[in-house]
Chain A
Amino acid sequence: MSNKKTHRVFHSTASLERLLGTDTLDNKAPVATPENIAFRYDVAGPFTRFLAWMIDMLLMGLVILLASILLIMVSSTIGAFVGDLGMVAVGLFLAFLFFFWWFYGTVLETWWNGRTLGKWILGLRVLTVDGRPINVVQAATRNLLRLADLFPYFLTIVPTMAVGLVVMSSNRRFRRLGDMVAGTMVIIERRKYHRSIEQFQDPRVAQLAEYLPPSFIVSNELVGALSMYVQRREDFSVERRREIAASLAVPLLEKFGLPSDTSYDLLLCALYYRTFLLNEQKKEIQWVVPNQPAENMAFYSGAGVLR
């Protein structure tokens, strides 16, 4: 193979997906950073992106409308005295129209780190497939090729977007043709609010936790199910809690050798309590302290770093 570098760049995401799982159901895109941490982005779907595009189109229409009004005012006032100045204004307007119409997305996405106004409003951002910021060439490629994605045109003016939709539905990250060529994807940059760990008022939870066998190791899936249950249990009635908890609690009670009339709800809470709150961790965890002087930590100084 002639070019190892390209080869590596193009296949890094595929290997990452093998490593982290594809998360097709949740529309997640895994990304590995120079800090050697892998995390997942939420990929934006066709509908959100269509809305963002509509907002951009509305904005562009508004700007063009305002510019036209300004143009009419200029050419009807100044143009009344010197007719040629009015025509100069029209010429400038047309040149502006060309650059604005064709390069609105390119310029905004370049200056604003992958965002246009519509994307900003909906919390979207364009990134390369490996999670880095896009450059001018990529922004221009994906914005110019939008024309091909809107193809074919109904009655030559109404875009049916068939090309874009077919291409988007044929890949995991909803990339349209322009994204394919530019090597980009659109992600949702959602702000999530964190909840603190649930605390239990009921003293029986802590008591029951003492009876759970210490040898029992809680699997990843079980952790997920437990915390989802504990966070939502407040919304349910007592009967409903029992019903939901039963499928998990019945086999667990059997396994732990506890009496089968133990409250299912209580058992799951106790397990949660033991997993997250009980003070029994032996291992000392090493934490990165963020208060060191900056010089020691500036180990990455490649292109694309904030200045």
Chain B
Amino acid sequence: MKPVKLLQNREANWAELESLCARLRISGRNRNPALVSRFSSLYRAACADLALAEAYQLPPEKIEYLQSLVARAHNTLYQNQGFQIARWFHLIFYVTPKLIFSDRCVHLALFVWLFLSTIAAVLAYDDRLWPGFAEQVLGTSTMLQMENDFRAYVTRSWGQNFLMAGFYIWNNAGIGLRCFATGILIVPGFFLFAVNAVQIGASFGYMFRPELGIAGANFKDFVTVHGPFEITAIILSFGAGLRLGVSWLTTREWSRMSALILAGRRALPIAFVAVLLFVLAAMLEGFVSPFSRNTIPWFVKGSISVICSGLLMFYFIVLGYPGIEDDQDIDLEID
């Protein structure tokens, strides 16, 4: 018998596979096992049909039809497994701290942040070194507003706290993700990161000027609680982005493409942890920071800050030691 005749006998099978493709796709994750096993047999048969059709030089449009059928069945059969909590736990608490611990790009981001913000803080604090530095960086109106806000330190209502927590998530975590994503192009990510470092440094320098008095003390009260998480998060974000940007410049023994893929596997978990830290920081900034020292005494805020820093230390050093070497591929074990 000619292959064509045989293939014509198989058309019923293909039609069945077509309809099963549609049905299995719709029915989602609770699938009927009998249908699935029938589907797999039909799929394998269609694979064999395709191989034969190619080997026996059947008309190209037949082969093309079988190609598309097999491709769609393949995508129906092989689906990803969705989210799995155990794997995420493993990723966040086992893999990522080790990645962060040994990531030179994160270290570099930390030093860049400390360097820029310290210089900006010094220049903004002492107006004689660079006259008008704080005004140039922050703008006069912002400076005035900050001073007024913190001099009065009006306690917010609980609704306002909710609103501001939402705003901090939207704004801060958004900036972090922008730093990460544009870090692959290095320059734009660095620019955004540096602007934030300088602005925050300048704010600190300006607010702690002796002539601001109580406003400076209130400012310290406000930033103490959420500072550790938020600053760590922005550094991690840019560090992860920089890891991508550096990877296609210095590829080591890999091809440029492989280096990018390897760096992506290392960078994404770091960026993800940064988002979590941003969310935690936003909660603290929304619901703890705004209370004046009359409601939440200074030592409570200070203790929270120390605990947060301690947790971060534990995460980076105890969970992170001894790190994962740069040239080592990591298995994310997430499917």
Give the residues in chain B near A35, CB-CB below 8 Å.
43-44, 47
Task: Determine whether A238 belongs to the interface, using a CB cutoff of 8 Å to chain B.
Answer: no
CB proximity of A220 to chain B, nearest CB, Å: 6
Give the residues in chain A near B79, CB-CB below 8 Å.
113, 133, 304, 306
CB proximity of A21 to chain B, nearest CB, Å: 13
Give the residues in chain A near B76, CB-CB below 8 Å.
306
Contact digits for A116-128, partner B, Cβ 8 Å, 1 yes 0 no? 0000000001010
Contact across chains for B163 and A111 when beta carbons are under 8 A apart? no
Contact across chains for B50 and A228 when beta carbons are under 8 A apart? no
Task: Determine whether A77 belongs to the interface, using a CB cutoff of 8 Å to chain B.
Answer: no
Give the residues in chain A near B174, CB-CB below 8 Å.
98, 101-102
CB proximity of B269 to chain A, nearest CB, Å: 8
Contact across chains for A181 and B40 when beta carbons are under 8 A apart? no
Task: Determine whether B8 belongs to the interface, using a CB cutoff of 8 Å to chain A.
Answer: yes
Contact across chains for B68 and A190 when beta carbons are under 8 A apart? yes
Tell me the count of chain B residues lying within 8 A, CB to CB, of chain A. Answer: 100
Contact across chains for B70 and A145 when beta carbons are under 8 A apart? no
Contact across chains for B3 and A285 when beta carbons are under 8 A apart? yes
A86 to B72, CA, bound (A): 48
The residues in A between 101 and 118 inclusive whose CB is less than 8 angstroms from any CB of B are: 101-102, 110-111, 113-114
Residue in contact with A193 in the complex, picked from B47, B57, B65, CB distance below 8 Å: B65
Closest to A299 in B: B44
CB proximity of B132 to chain A, nearest CB, Å: 25
Known: A87-B160, A134-B80. A141 touches B268 (CB 8 A): yes
Task: Determine whether B42 belongs to the interface, using a CB cutoff of 8 Å to chain A.
Answer: yes
Known: A94-B169, A125-B75, A151-B185. A10 touches B261 (CB 8 A): yes
Closest to B261 in A: A183
Contact across chains for A194 and B180 when beta carbons are under 8 A apart? no
A137 to B62, CA, bound (A): 37
Give the residues in chain B near A12, CB-CB below 8 Å.
none
Give the residues in chain B near A87, CB-CB below 8 Å.
157, 159-160, 162-163
Contact across chains for A294 and B59 when beta carbons are under 8 A apart? no
Contact across chains for A95 and B258 when beta carbons are under 8 A apart? no
Give the residues in chain A near B45, CB-CB below 8 Å.
287-290
Contact across chains for A306 and B75 when beta carbons are under 8 A apart? no
Contact digits for B322-334, partner A, Cβ 8 Å, 1 yes 0 no? 0000011100101
Tell which of A48-56, A201-209, A271-279 binds the partner.
Answer: A271-279
Known: A39-B71, A110-B83, A190-B68. A144 touches B271 (CB 8 A): yes
Contact across chains for A220 and B57 when beta carbons are under 8 A apart? yes
A276 to B263, CA, bound (A): 52
Contact across chains for A95 and B169 when beta carbons are under 8 A apart? yes
Task: Determine whether B253 belongs to the interface, using a CB cutoff of 8 Å to chain A.
Answer: yes
Closest to A86 in B: B159
Give the residues in chain B near A280, CB-CB below 8 Å.
2
Task: Determine whether A215 belongs to the interface, using a CB cutoff of 8 Å to chain B.
Answer: no
Task: Determine whether A177 belongs to the interface, using a CB cutoff of 8 Å to chain B.
Answer: yes
Give the residues in chain A near B42, CB-CB below 8 Å.
290
Closest to B165 in A: A91
Contact digits for A283-307, partner B, Cβ 8 Å, 1 yes 0 no? 0010111111010011000011111
Task: Determine whether A248 belongs to the interface, using a CB cutoff of 8 Å to chain B.
Answer: no
Contact across chains for A287 and B6 when beta carbons are under 8 A apart? yes
Closest to B265 in A: A137
Task: Determine whether B210 belongs to the interface, using a CB cutoff of 8 Å to chain A.
Answer: no
Task: Determine whether B67 belongs to the interface, using a CB cutoff of 8 Å to chain A.
Answer: yes
Give the residues in chain B near A275, CB-CB below 8 Å.
57
Tell which of B29-37, B123-131, B222-230 binds the partner.
Answer: B29-37
Instruction: List 11 additional contacts besides A144-B268, A192-B69, A303-B335; criterion CB under 8 Å.
Output: A10-B257, A33-B47, A84-B158, A90-B166, A94-B163, A102-B177, A147-B178, A189-B72, A194-B65, A290-B13, A297-B40
29 contacts between A and B (CB under 8 A): A10-B261, A31-B74, A39-B50, A39-B71, A84-B159, A87-B157, A94-B167, A95-B165, A95-B169, A98-B173, A110-B80, A110-B82, A135-B80, A137-B269, A137-B334, A145-B244, A163-B185, A181-B244, A192-B65, A193-B65, A227-B59, A228-B60, A231-B59, A278-B2, A285-B3, A285-B6, A294-B38, A305-B78, A306-B24
The 6 lowest CB-CB distance pairs between A and B, nearest first, are A84-B159, A294-B37, A91-B166, A94-B166, A87-B159, A91-B162
